Amino acid sequence: MATPVKVHGPPLSTAVSRVLACLIEKDVQFQLIPVNMSKGEHKSPDFLKIQPFGQVPAFQDESTSLFESRAICRYVCEKYAEKGNKGLYGSNPLAKASIDQWLEAEGQSFNPPSSVLVFQLAFAPRMKIKQDQSLINQNHDKLAKVLEVYEKRLGESRFLAGDEFSLADLSHLPNTHYLVNATDRGELFTSKKNVGRWWAEISSRDSWKKVVDMQKHSS
């Protein structure tokens, strides 16, 4: 019996939930190790040994330690290529390149404005932090422009990297989930014909439903 990989961090974290969705898609056994960030556990010396920036998630696979959720997801797909969803990270160089370019788009173009909106609209009120309306407006506009590009792309293909669900789509699940379900900005996605169709499809995957269930039981 293989030793389960270890994921350190709370499932409510967008980066942690990205890794969890990937592991479930790949049918890789994992152990979720809670990290109490309000008590500063992510800054403890032991945690910093496996995540030098003191952020979540930290990931361990036997003697291997990794950080950064997108890198962890790529590693999981490569190491466990024959498990679970075999096409999640493509099966040839061209498919991988297409997935990679949309993963880059997610990390560079989609994530910055969507993360600001998630924090300002979903987390700041819970944390009793004053919202910055100008920052919200600015990033709403940035995200709207990014989603215009997505709308065009998703009119040409079922998913971002082609006709199969991939890591590129999966990587968008955490932030979009919060924006659609925990803020008043869901129409950024649901009002667009192709983006709305895409979101309905990717968010109804069993892997993501399991992550959402984990989030509910941890809150």
pTM: 0.95
Domain with 182 in it:
91-208
Q: Determine the residue type at 90.
A: G
Number of structural domains in the chain: 2
In a shared domain, residues 198 and 98: yes
Do 63 and 130 sit in the same domain of this protein?
no
Supply the DSSP string of 131-166, one letter for each residue: --HHHHHHHHHHHHHHHHHHHHHHHHSSBTTBSS--
Which of residues 50, 85, 120 is at a domain's end?
A: 85
In a domain, 147, yes or no: yes
Tell me: the pLDDT tens digits for 138-184? 999 999 999 999 999 999 999 999 999 999 999 999 999 999 999 99
At 16-56, the pLDDT tens digits run: 999 999 999 999 999 999 998 888 889 898 888 888 888 99
Instruction: Tell me the average pLDDT of the chain.
Output: 95
Please name the residue that has the structure tokens 């370019």: 101
Residue 119: name the closest of 103, 106, 132 by CA.
132
Domain match, 202 and 95 both: yes
Same domain? For 81 and 107 the reply is: no
- Is 143 a member of any domain? yes
At 126 the pLDDT is 87
Question: Do residue 74 and residue 120 come from a single domain?
Answer: no
Q: What is the pLDDT of residues 88-129, one digit of tens each?
A: 999 999 999 999 999 999 999 999 999 999 999 999 998 899
